[in-house]
Chain A
Amino acid sequence: MFERGVSATVPPVRSLEEAFPRFRAGDPSTVRVLGDVRERAHAFAQQHVRPLALDIDQRAAADPRYVDWDLVKAGCEHGLLSLAIPSAAGGQGGLVQEMCVTLEELCAACPGVGNIFGAHGLGMLPLLVTGVTHWDGLLHDIAVAERQGRPVLMACAVTEPDAGTDVEEVDLMRRGKITSRAVHVAGGWRLNGTKRFISNGSLADWVTVCMPSDPKRPAETWTCFLVDAHSEGFSVGRVEHKMGQRACPAAELIFDDVFVPDERVVGRPGDGMPCTLLVLAASRPAVAAIATGIARGAYDRVLGWLEQEPTLIGRQQVQLALARMEEEIHLARQGYLDAATEVDATISPALHHPLVRAMRMVPSATRRRPLVRRWITSPWARQTTVAVLRHTVTDRAVTRSLALSSLAKAHAADVAVSVTGLALELVGLDAGEIRAELEKLWRDAKLTQIYEGTNQLNRLTVYRGLSRQETMVALPPSRLRLVGGRQ
């Protein structure tokens, strides 16, 4: 019953100025105007995504492998796959704030579609936090392919059938049951195991996957690898029938003796767990933004619908409910912007370290030459990257960022579930298509309480990082010491 096509009109962005004050990133020389990013994402989301959202949901309900590639390609035209790729590698150089603002807009239209781009960003995050110059080649390829209208997607595979929460928290991991395993062989690694519920898993060309090299000491040997999805031994298993966010398939990934060369170890072997904390600090504000977007999508829809229902909107019960929704959404948004700003400020000094700046001055084409590449991916260069991180960022700063991100995520997810439920209740069962849209958003919302760590786990992280002021080991150890380090 829905026309597949592009809607001609884009509804205006509500209260742009109030909602998005200009946030200053950690680097005082860079003022990022998030309003522009948001308006671009808003236009794409409302023109291309929203008109198709229900249709895609229905198709994916019948066939969970269904993906609207045309929409992903349309996303390419709007630079959604290269948003977080550094400008030196041909991307747009966005940080966590830009990613978040974009995701709020996409998810206000369709959280499943938003999650395709979100999960792609998550797949890239381990590369971005462990030294972007090492991954120049791939990141550059993604950006070039995007300009050619050819989406190259990434995914991040961490969860296992027997280990969900366990792989998100170091103490649980030590006691947990991790069944995947990476074994070092001549020239690289052999990966074996199964990863589960992997967003984009069945779509991705490249997967960042974490596995331990010693199952008895998973936390100490947790290592991140970059896997080519076309590798021998890699296959996609079951694609799940989900309650919501169906536009983005969640798949089982099977690693059967997959060979990964040494240069595709992300960071250093055994650095996976600290790397995970840094990734979570950056990815949880994004989930908070997804949740905020879902709540706002429901709010916008119910508000639009109520304008046609004067007898309802005139009632104080309805007005109070709307005010409550506005209140919750506002606070959720402030929460993710606050966390994203903090994460960006935490990692910015590393991005602006003289060594990193010097690397950026080397032309991208030169960096991709085999000899230079060999040097860039050498163990020495990796040690230097870790040393730069250690020199500019502290464990405490990452722990604090992670806690703020977790706070924003857990809060926004609860807001998404309650606001979408309230919106659905306001329109009732006889509201036609708007009811179907709100039911979908309510189903979509529930996942935000679960992925990127359950809300319970996120709140325990808030306790450790903020209530107890704990400092987690959130950065890999460095054997090199740069002059004037902060730790």
Chain B
Amino acid sequence: MKTDLHDELLGVVRDLTQREVAPRSADLDAGDRDAFAHCWTAACAIGLDRVLLAEEFGGAGLGPADLLAMIEEMAAGDAGLAVAVLLHNVALAALPAEAVAAVADGERWSVTLPPLAPSLAFGISKGSAGVSGRIPFVPGALGAGGFAILDPAPGSAALFFHSTAPGLTIQPYPFQMGWRSSPAAGLVLDEVTATPVPHSVGSDSGATRLVRLGVSAVARGIAGRAWELAFEYAHSRHQGGVFIIEHGAVRSLLAGMAVQLQGVGPAAISRAWLDGDDGGAIAAKVLASDAAVGVTTDAVQVFGGAGYMCETGVEKLMRDAMYCRLYPEPNWLVSDQLVASFERRH
């Protein structure tokens, strides 16, 4: 629900994005850790690291809808940073109170989701000596202070451990095309002592839904930025003696982008949250990420050759958008889960 406070908060995040993040977008994309640290510190300074926490934990006590709106604003500056903020907030929301209290100021956590398809199970098993197995592709794993594992097995409690836990190996990926400011890694656990969270924070509390809707918000932020850049460029570039916005071909591209953006508006994302249904969150993520890939691809097209060059920053949006399609799982993989969720409803 829109309130003055909500708008004011978004204004603060927008200001931060424009002032601190957007000017460093190329450095963040190049994997510059100093640039990331600067932006992360700036985000923490306005409380973006504790959005969902109650005030007694130094949090802002805001709801998921506020977090999603803030993530969208941040993603317009840098998607990787927005993803880091999202996963950190979800991780902290999953931790028990004493663990949250132990998280140092400026420390960043990440979170892992249960796999959608059993065939792709990351197969962690819990033995008497600790947790073992492998968890693939955790964004922002490099440099994270700790990890929360949501629903490691159906019906079991969430777990958490620090990045320094004995038995944990963080395996970085040599290549990453999108979200490059949040380098991902696989986590290999060899009898890691992980602390169980007393309550299930998975589907029941909406943590997994929040991650998917968060990715939707990131996708929307990316797409919105791509739209702005393309719209602006179309009003400044001349071809055929007129601004290219005068060409039907360009108008048609921009119109297509606007339609796709409209379909994944904030209303759709908050409705999916309020529905409280996994299927809705999955559908919203598929829709938003497909739209983001479509809109950014068309934005590069509006720029023509210039859009293909890194300096305009549009091609980065296209790469970041593609990762929204692939994380937490590739869009094609959701069909079974999506249908199952609707079957449960009827």
A82 at interface (Cβ–Cβ under 8 A)? no
The answer to whether residues A175 and B242 also contact, given A241-B311, A454-B301 and a CB cut-off of 8 A, is yes
Range of interface residues on A (Cβ < 8 Å): 35 or more
Say whether A443 contacts B326, CB under 8 Å: no
| Per-residue interface assignment for chain B, residues 174 to 206, with 1 indicating a CB less than 8 Å from any chain A CB and 0 otherwise | 110100000010100000000000000000000
- Minimum CB–CB distance from B291 to chain A (whole Å) comes to 14
- CA of A327 to CA of B93, assembled, Å: 47
Q: CB-nearest residue of chain A relative to B175?
A: A436
List residues of chain B with CB within 8 A of the CB of A241.
309-311
- Residues 414 to 446 of chain A near chain B (Cβ within 8 Å): 417, 421-422, 424-426, 428-430, 433, 435-436, 439, 442-443, 446
Say whether B239 contacts A164, CB under 8 Å: yes
Say whether A428 contacts B326, CB under 8 Å: yes
Say whether B137 contacts A243, CB under 8 Å: no
Q: CB-nearest residue of chain B relative to A425?
A: B330
B300 at interface (Cβ–Cβ under 8 A)? yes
Q: CB-nearest residue of chain A relative to B139?
A: A429
B319 at interface (Cβ–Cβ under 8 A)? yes
Say whether A164 contacts B318, CB under 8 Å: no
- CA of A429 to CA of B330, assembled, Å: 8
Say whether A166 contacts B249, CB under 8 Å: no
List residues of chain A with CB within 8 A of the CB of B327.
429
- CA of A163 to CA of B216, assembled, Å: 37
List residues of chain B with CB within 8 A of the CB of A429.
136-137, 184, 323, 326-327, 330
The answer to whether residues A460 and B184 also contact, given A163-B239, A436-B175 and a CB cut-off of 8 A, is no
Say whether A435 contacts B175, CB under 8 Å: yes
B325 at interface (Cβ–Cβ under 8 A)? yes
Other-chain residue from A54, A177, A317, A447 in contact with B238 (beta carbon distance below 8 A): A177
| Per-residue interface assignment for chain A, residues 299 to 332, with 1 indicating a CB less than 8 Å from any chain B CB and 0 otherwise | 0000000000001100001100100000000000
Say whether B249 contacts A456, CB under 8 Å: yes
List residues of chain B with CB within 8 A of the CB of A447.
308
List residues of chain A with CB within 8 A of the CB of B240.
165-166, 171-172, 175-176
- Minimum CB–CB distance from A224 to chain B (whole Å) comes to 20
Say whether B238 contacts A162, CB under 8 Å: yes
Interface of A is mostly: helix
The answer to whether residues A454 and B304 also contact, given A311-B119, A436-B175 and a CB cut-off of 8 A, is yes
- Minimum CB–CB distance from A453 to chain B (whole Å) comes to 10
List residues of chain A with CB within 8 A of the CB of B184.
429
List residues of chain B with CB within 8 A of the CB of A425.
325-326, 330-332
- Minimum CB–CB distance from A353 to chain B (whole Å) comes to 37
List residues of chain B with CB within 8 A of the CB of A446.
297, 300, 308, 315, 318
B329 at interface (Cβ–Cβ under 8 A)? yes
- CA of A457 to CA of B248, assembled, Å: 11
The answer to whether residues A439 and B304 also contact, given A425-B325, A425-B331, A429-B136 and a CB cut-off of 8 A, is no
A197 at interface (Cβ–Cβ under 8 A)? yes
- CA of A425 to CA of B329, assembled, Å: 9
Say whether A243 contacts B241, CB under 8 Å: no
B87 at interface (Cβ–Cβ under 8 A)? no
- Minimum CB–CB distance from B211 to chain A (whole Å) comes to 14
List residues of chain B with CB within 8 A of the CB of A243.
300, 308-310, 315, 318-319
- CA of A429 to CA of B327, assembled, Å: 7
- Residues 112 to 168 of chain A near chain B (Cβ within 8 Å): 159, 162-166
A455 at interface (Cβ–Cβ under 8 A)? yes
A361 at interface (Cβ–Cβ under 8 A)? no
- CA of A240 to CA of B305, assembled, Å: 11
List residues of chain B with CB within 8 A of the CB of A240.
309-311
A242 at interface (Cβ–Cβ under 8 A)? yes
Say whether B186 contacts A424, CB under 8 Å: no
Say whether B309 contacts A417, CB under 8 Å: no
- CA of A164 to CA of B293, assembled, Å: 25
A365 at interface (Cβ–Cβ under 8 A)? no
Say whether B326 contacts A176, CB under 8 Å: no
Say whether B119 contacts A426, CB under 8 Å: no
- Minimum CB–CB distance from A86 to chain B (whole Å) comes to 32
Say whether A428 contacts B309, CB under 8 Å: no
The answer to whether residues A450 and B318 also contact, given A175-B241, A317-B335 and a CB cut-off of 8 A, is no
Q: CB-nearest residue of chain A relative to B307?
A: A450
B274 at interface (Cβ–Cβ under 8 A)? no
Say whether B326 contacts A424, CB under 8 Å: yes
- Minimum CB–CB distance from A438 to chain B (whole Å) comes to 9
Say whether B310 contacts A159, CB under 8 Å: no
Q: CB-nearest residue of chain A relative to B134?
A: A430
Interface positions of A (Cβ within 8 A of B): 1, 54, 159, 162-166, 171-172, 175-177, 196-197, 240-244, 250, 311-312, 317-318, 321, 417, 421-422, 424-426, 428-430, 433, 435-436, 439, 442-443, 446-447, 449-451, 454-457, 460
Interface positions of B (Cβ within 8 A of A): 119-120, 136-137, 174-175, 177, 184, 186, 238-242, 249-250, 253, 293, 297, 300-301, 304-311, 315, 318-319, 322-323, 325-327, 329-333, 335
Given contacts A165-B239, A428-B326, 9 further A-B contacts (CB under 8 A): A171-B240, A175-B240, A175-B241, A433-B175, A436-B175, A439-B177, A454-B301, A454-B304, A460-B249
29 A-B pairs, CB-CB below 8 angstroms? A164-B304, A164-B305, A172-B239, A172-B240, A175-B240, A175-B241, A176-B240, A240-B311, A241-B309, A241-B311, A243-B308, A243-B309, A243-B310, A243-B315, A317-B332, A425-B330, A425-B332, A428-B120, A430-B136, A430-B186, A435-B175, A439-B322, A443-B319, A446-B297, A447-B308, A450-B301, A456-B249, A456-B250, A460-B249
Top 10 nearest A-B pairs (CB, nearest first) are A175-B241, A430-B136, A436-B175, A456-B249, A172-B240, A243-B315, A311-B119, A241-B310, A439-B177, A429-B137
